[in-house]
Chain A
């Protein structure tokens, strides 16, 4: 089955810095790659996603890149703010409603 590796497990940055979280996946048939943000005690919420026919997608301070050849995708957050502090999960899917998640990255943004 699909396996998703996520790094780093924790990431501490200063407010205003950029943050990058990287994921690799094993199944070349995967075609959808969402990123979820989960604040303490809250439900995961989708922040950005990318499909396999696109190499990059941006939404304000957040961007995702996908390298299908390397089976690698990354989340980039620019101008980080304290409210960006949360656990971020990457995931991969090859269809229908089955997501394989990475283990998560705890991002801490210090003022």
Chain B
């Protein structure tokens, strides 16, 4: 199976702009999670989508939003960009977890966002 893919791989934006990042999960995976990775804060959970519904959300401001389509592809949007939003944004997909157990997450290569 093809792995998780993310587009674009690199983005440069200026403060105040908005950006949309895309993630295509492994075929058959219905759960997509998003993480922000920075040198200071490490990997932080943004949100998780399952069957087009946001199932979990991390502690990020409302400027960060996402959605999932019927084919499980997901997008995340950041509005009114700030310098501190510069980071590597990673998405990860997994099989539908059942019975309260967690299934392995497979990460994409990430989108490197630079805000100037």
Contact = CB atoms under 8 A, between A and B. Distances in A.
A103 B101 contact: no
A96 B105 contact: no
20 contacts: A31-B101, A31-B102, A32-B101, A34-B105, A42-B109, A43-B108, A43-B109, A46-B105, A89-B43, A96-B48, A96-B102, A97-B55, A97-B56, A97-B94, A97-B105, A98-B56, A99-B45, A101-B43, A101-B44, A103-B41
Which of under 10, 10 to 19, 20 to 34, or 35 or more describes the interface residues of B? 20 to 34
A43 B110 contact: yes
Interface of A: 1, 31-32, 34, 36, 42-46, 49, 51, 89, 91, 93, 95-104
A52 to B, nearest CB: 10
Contacts of B105: 34, 46, 97, 99
Interface in B72-98: 90, 92, 94, 97
Interface of B: 31-33, 35, 41-45, 48, 50, 55-56, 58-59, 90, 92, 94, 97, 100-110
A21 B42 CA distance: 16
Given A93-B102, A96-B102, A43 B107 contact: yes
A97 B109 contact: no
Nearest to A92: B102
Contacts of B33: 97-99
Nearest to A36: B107
Contacts of A46: 104-106
Contacts of A51: 101
B59 to A, nearest CB: 8
Given A43-B108, A43-B109, A95 B42 contact: no
Contact of B42 (A34, A97, A98, A102): A102
Q: Which 9 A-B pairs have the closest CB atoms?
A: A32-B102, A101-B43, A43-B107, A103-B42, A97-B31, A93-B102, A98-B56, A97-B48, A97-B33
